[in-house]
Amino acid sequence: MWSSLALFGGKMNDKFVIEMQHITKVFPGIVANDDISLGLRKGEIHALLGENGAGKSTLMSVLFGLYQPEEGKILKDGKEVKINNPNDATALGIGMVHQHFKLVECFSVLDNIILGVEPTKFGLITKKEARRKVMALSEKYHLSVNPDAKIENITVGMQQRVEILKMLYRDNDILIFDEPTAVLTPQEIDELMIIMREFANEGKAILFITHKLNEILAVADRCTVLRKGKYIGTVDVKDATAEELSEMMVGRKVQLQVEKSDAVPGDVVLSVKNMVVASKQHKNNAVKNVSFDVHKGEILCIAGIDGNGQTELVYALSGLEPIVSGSIKMNGVELSKQSIRKRNLAGISHIPEDRHKHGLVLDYSLEQNLVLQTYFEPEFQKNGFIKFNEVRHYSEKLIDQYDIRSGQGSITTARSMSGGNQQKAIIAREIDRDTELLISVQPTRGLDVGAIEQVHRQLVAQRDSGKAVLLVSLELDEVMSVADRILVMFEGEIVGELNPKTCSVQELGLYMAGAKRDDMNGGEK
């Protein structure tokens, strides 16, 4: 008990606007926050660092009144307060930009901003005053928005501005930013950093949740680190290095480099030519005239910021979405008009981006999920009846081979498994199909460091066994360390081909942000 208090002991004379003491929050089966304390000063940017699942978002949801902690208390200006719901938080001046924006899509920007604090006259909403205030705020902080635009019609970066304006409109002076940079372009990130700094200079207190070290080093004053729901420590950023912070975050020295030999590319397995894919979100095409080849024995990585057409590209390759024009050839056979099943049988394995949407039937048992791609093969069925013994046998084999852990083995419901083990099950299923091409989309999303390393090793092993691997990743580190060849996608086009050995992260970043591009169409094809 005393030990964690002592962390603050030396700084008791500093005034904290918000202090969270010994917060413990338990969800069924997991302690999301285990005795976490945190103090926030006026005018500082306080980073909250931790991996996925470290408990950052939970802690902030507690502060924002979305969850009630089992233990611990919250102090505002030294006085204990109860935050039972977001209204209480707002009353205390706490505002939050959520990781998944909380905006009503069919509402206008203005309606979203005033929702919950609507100014009224005779019971009717009066928007005139609200509009004036929003316009003034947006001018002051250079957050230009069109108050009458519908949320569904504006960009993600713009939506984030609306979220920020929501806090400002409520006169919040304690601002929580939950992973705000994940959806932004580098330029937008820079702008956001400037705005955050501006807020801090004005005396607002900022909590900045992230797992990106460079952002913390760039903008934060202090940094609190969480790991697996536990409090690790708080450091002054100016005295800290990236290595120290990352070690605090993951609990050991991180081996960022993946050990692998040089690739020995063989024949072309997949050949994509002039492929165009329509977008479901907007009228433009999501993938514009893209051409590339994937060879045997190489890991080709598609890099880019989220939402630049990678998802649609993979959907088109796997057959989940039709293409507008172009061709997809696998070993010379045209696939673009084929059904998903035919493509799978032609030799495509696919570790999907969203494991809950595409990867698993959550109410099916583990074994049923493990045969999701093969249940119709003679190995598992006879005259239309499933061979349950074979399925069980196969499932036990995969569980053993890929170290999939679950409560009741083969008969565990997928829903009750941890995210990491769900992902392991999908990877096992897709790799074990032994196909020529493995499409792997963000295979390490949401996994802890140990699991990430394991996935990377498996990808490299696939490559070494002569398969073609197409990896789509948003993580720069992953791209640089795993890929043999990098294609950068920006706004639906491939804007550059890079060699991870010779290019720098900065260069890659410039391509990803659209600041630099090569003419790809005149090139190799």
Partner 1 sequence: MILLIQYTLIYASCLILVALGGMFSEHSGVINIGLEGIMVIGALGGALTMMYMPEGVSPFLIVVLTVLMAALAGLAFSMLLSVAAINFKADQTLVGTAMNILATAVAAVVVKAINTTASHGDNVSAIVRYIEEHEAFIVRWNLGEKSFFEFNWFFVITIVALIVSAVILYKTKFGLRLYACGEHPQAADAAGVNVAKMRYSGVMISGVLGGIGGLVYIASANSSWDFKYGVAGAGFLALAVMIFGEWKPWKIAGAAIIFGLFRALSNVYTAFPLLMELNIPSNVYNMLPYIISLLVLAFTSKSSRAPKAEGIPFEKGQR
Partner 2 sequence: MKKKFKLDSPGMQTFLASVVAIIAGLVVGFIVLLCINPAGAPKAILTILKNYLNFTRPNLILKNIGGTLVRTAPLIMTSLAVTFAYKVGMFNIGVAGQYTIGIGCCMWAALAWDWPWYLCLLFAVVGGMVWGAIAGFLKSVFNVNEVISGIMLNWISLYIVNIWLNNDLTKETVSPGTLQLHNYAKQGMIPTLGLDKVLNNEYFGPSIFVAIIVAIIINIVLNKTVFGYELKATGGNKHAAKYSGMNDYRNIILTLAISGALAGLGAGLYYLTGIEQWETSASSLPAMGFDGIVAAFLGGLNPIGVIFSSYFIKHISIGGTMIDLNVYSSDISGLIVAIIIYFSAFTMIVRMVLKRLKERKAERGEKQ
322 binds partner 1 (CB under 8 A): no
Which of the listed partners (partner 2, partner 1, none) does 29 bind, with a CB threshold of 5 to 8 Å by partner kind?
Answer: none
Rounded Cα gap, residues 376 and 379, in angstroms: 8
Q: Is 26 in the site for partner 2 (CB under 8 A)?
A: no
Q: Contact between 423 and partner 2 (CB under 8 A)? A: no
Query: How many helices (H) does the chain have, and how many strands (E)?
Result: 17, 24
Confirm or reject binding of residue 1 to partner 1 (CB under 8 A): no
Amino acid, single-letter form, for residue 284: N
When CB distances are held under 5 to 8 angstroms depending on the partner's kind, the choice from partner 2, partner 1, none that residue 64 binds is partner 1
Smallest separation, CB 466 to partner 1 (Å): 41
Q: Long-range contacts of range 389-396, CB-CB < 8 Å, 24 or more positions apart?
A: 391/367, 392/367, 394/367, 394/370, 395/366, 395/367, 395/370, 395/371
Helices 340-347 and 310-318, axial angle in degrees (round to 10): 80
112 binds partner 1 (CB under 8 A): yes
Distance CA 394, CA 399 (A): 9
According to CB under 8 A, which one of 14, 70, 71, 105 is a site residue for partner 1? 105
Q: Which is nearer to partner 1, 1 or 106 (CB)?
A: 106
Which of partner 2, partner 1, none lies near 102, with the C-beta cut-off 5 to 8 A by kind?
Answer: partner 1
Residue count of the chain, please give it: 525
Residue 440 · residue 459 · CB < 8 Å: yes
| Contact between 442 and partner 1 per CB under 8 A | no
341 binds, among partner 1, partner 2, none (CB under 5 to 8 A by kind): partner 2
Q: Which of 73, 102, 132, 337 binds partner 1 (CB under 8 A)?
A: 102
Rounded to whole angstroms, the Cα distance separating 497 from 511 reads: 9
Tokens encoding 317: 């390759």
Q: For residue 250, what are the CA distances in angstroms to 132, 133, 217, 258, 452? A: 47, 44, 17, 17, 12
Cα dihedral 296, 302, 307, 310, rounded to 10, equals -20
Q: Which of 361, 411, 505, 515 binds partner 2 (CB under 8 A)?
A: 361
359 binds partner 2, rule: CB under 8 A: yes
Give the residues across from 206 on adjacent strands. 45, 175
Asked if residue 356 binds partner 1 (CB under 8 A), the reply is no
State which residue, 126 or 214, has the beta carbon closest to partner 1: 126
What one-character DSSP code corresponds to residue 413?
B
Cβ distance to partner 2 smaller for residue 393 or 516? 393
Q: Tell me the backbone φ, ψ of residue 171, rounded to 5 degrees.
A: 55, 35
Q: Which does 105 bind (CB under 5 to 8 A by kind): partner 2, partner 1, none?
A: partner 1
Look-up: residue for tokens 């550059």? Answer: 496
Interface with partner 2 (CB under 8 A), residue total 28
Q: Which is nearer to partner 1, 169 or 208 (CB)?
A: 169
- Out of 327, 381, 418, 454, name the contact with partner 2 by CB under 8 A: 381
Residues 36-95 that bind partner 1 (CB under 8 A): 64, 66-67, 85-87, 90
Place of tokens 């005139």: 128
Out of 362, 449, 476, 503, which residue is the one contacting partner 2 (CB under 8 A)? 362
Q: Least Å distance between CB 120 and partner 2?
A: 35
User: 388-419 as b/e, with b when 16 or more CB fall inside 10 Å?
Assistant: eebbeebbeebbeebebebeeebebbbeebbb
Summarize as ranges the residues that interact with partner 2 (CB under 8 A).
Answer: 318, 320, 339-345, 350, 352, 357-364, 368, 372-373, 375-376, 381, 384-386
Summarize as ranges the residues that interact with partner 1 (CB under 8 A).
Answer: 64, 66-67, 85-87, 90, 96, 98-107, 111-112, 114-118, 120, 123-125, 166
